[in-house]
Amino acid sequence: MQELSERRCLPCEGLGAVLSAQRINELLETVPGWAASDDGSWISRRFDFRDYSSVMTFVNAVARMAQQENHHPDMDVRYDHCVLRYSTHAVHGLTENDFICAAKANALFE
């Protein structure tokens, strides 16, 4: 199976139903550091950095990736950390697109 970080997001329209709780748990195992909300409607991760410049370098890299994938996270940007949160708004929950972008964000962080 192709690694999530090597896949591309599909257009959100027509993706179908949200992921099951079982599938969310399976996919969470492939994206270290990420956690799902209690209701399974979003995933998030905090990324820690040594300074603001490093945070902004990461945020800009995530923004470029998000534009390429046409799948954009909510971002909480602070001096020494950034929290990314993914959800597929078109289906009001999680799809594989969210996990693809989570894996890509992890790769950018590494």
CA separation for the pair 107, 101 (Å, rounded): 10
Sheet strands (E) in the chain: 35-36, 43-48, 74-77, 81-86
Instruction: Determine the pLDDT at residue 1.
Output: 45
Instruction: Determine the pLDDT at residue 84.
Output: 98
Instruction: Determine the pLDDT at residue 9.
Output: 73
Q: What is the C-alpha end-to-end distance of the chain, expressed in Å?
A: 22
pTM of the model: 0.92
For the domain covering 39-110, report its CATH number: 3.30.1360.20
Closest Cα partner for 9 from 66, 60, 47, 90? Answer: 66
What is the radius of gyration, based on Cα positions, of the chain? 13
CA separation for the pair 28, 56 (Å, rounded): 26
Low-confidence ranges of the chain (pLDDT < 70): 1-2, 14-16
